[in-house]
Structures are given as C-alpha cells and as structure tokens.
Amino acid sequence: MPYIYWDSTYILVVIGAVICMIASARVKTTFNKYSAYRSMSGMTGAQAAERILHAAGIYDVRVQHVSGNLTDHYNPANKTLNLSDSVCNQTSVAAVGVAAHECGHAIQHARGYVPLRLRTAFVPIANFGSMLAWPVIILGVIINSRSSMMLINIGILLFSFAVLFQLITLPVEFDASRRAMVQLREQGILGDQELHYTGKVLTAAALTYVASAAAAILQLLRIVLLFGGRSRDD
C-alpha cells in the first residue's frame, strides 16, 4: 500500500475545495432555475448584448457564440463578447443577465476602468507565479542549503501573485454586474421582477469568485504554515 502523507494543514485545502464546490453548485442551480423564466421582451442573450453595447456607444465589439455551458467571457485582446450555448440564443432572464454581465466588462474596457486594466496586466504575472511557486518551494526544501530559505520565500511570493490576482478580480466582477443591472433597467430589457431574478443569478455567479479568492488565501496560508517558519537547519 502506498504511503500517504497527511498533515493538519490539509484541512485548509479541504475547506477551500468545499467552499468552491458549494459556490459552483449554487450558481448552476440558480442559473438553471431562472433559465425557466422567459424574459417579457423575448430578447435572446445575443440580442440583449447588442442593444446594451450600442446604447453604450460601443460598436467595435463582436458578439459571437462559443460552445459549452456558462463559458461566457469578454476578451479585451480581440474585443469579442463570447456567449455560450446556454446564453447566446436563449431568451430567459438568466441568459439575458449573463450576457449583460459580459457587456459590463466590455463597457469597463471601453471606459478604461482601472481595476480591469490592472487585472489584464496582471494575468501573465499570476500565471507565472502559480506555475512556478510549488516547484521553487519544493526545490528549496530538497536542496537543504543556505539558499533553501531564499527559494522557499521566493516560492511563497510567487504564489502570492496568484492570490493577489484573485483579489483584483473581485471588484471587476462586482462592477460588471452592477453595470449590467443598470443597463438592463435603462434599456427596458427586463422588468422589475425580472431584474430581481437576474440579480440572484449574478450574485450567485459573483460568489464563485469570492470562493476562489478564499480558497487561494487558504492555500497561501497553508504554504506559509508549512514552510514560512523553516530555518536553514530544518
């Protein structure tokens, strides 16, 4: 039987995983629930997106369909607003809400919203940090020399970049949802009760980002507890 190492800090990983699973389950359940409510305007997600973008004076963003379920995203690099199977051609209040949220990101981009610019610039740094953090930490543990603590600290710093990216993402996502609700109301795409339903969908979606940030912070805490107090003689 293979030996499986366990230490008490694993509980932090478990807590983070459970938080993420609960948030993911909630957004799927909420989206599916309000996907059964057809919007009174009868507009599809794609049509709602086009109206919101044009009302905001944005004509250089292309709305297009992408495969998958809730794979919706705005790509600032090529100015495309990508809507999934469950959103693009669907007329539910959930679909319209998600499409409007992605329009919120397009509006942020057009207006030069600072947190979005910061997040976009931080993507390569966060990817670099998350990719190299553990290898650098493990190398520091293995070599057991004068450089060990330096390498471990570098690894912790690298992982901190990934955590910081998660934190930067939060205001970006919440602001996009706020902009979405404003546009849906001002453009008359959804009525008051429909906006209430859509707000539930967007809140559930936002909580997935909160959960991801919490899980990343817990993982960072685990790394610090495991390696942050090491000395050269450990």
Active site members: 102
Largest separation between any pair of C-alpha atoms in the chain? 69
Residue 187 CB neighbour total at 10 angstroms: 17
Q: Report d(CA 66, CA 85) in Å as an integer.
A: 7
Contact between 129 and 77 (Cβ < 8 Å):
no
Enumerate the H helices of 65-147 as residue ranges: 93-111, 114-143
Long-range CB contact pairs, 191-196, < 8 A, 24+:
191/40, 194/37, 194/39, 194/40, 194/93
DSSP state of 38: B
Contact between 115 and 62 (Cβ < 8 Å):
no
Q: Could you give the C-alpha distances from 19 to 1, 192, 216, in angstroms and in order? A: 31, 31, 11
Q: Which residues contact 191 (CB under 8 A, 6 or more apart)?
A: 40
Residue 90 CB neighbour total at 10 angstroms: 21
Contact between 216 and 162 (Cβ < 8 Å):
yes
Residue 95, both tokens: 């679909």
Q: If residue 6 lies in a helix (H) or strand (E), which one and from where to where?
A: none
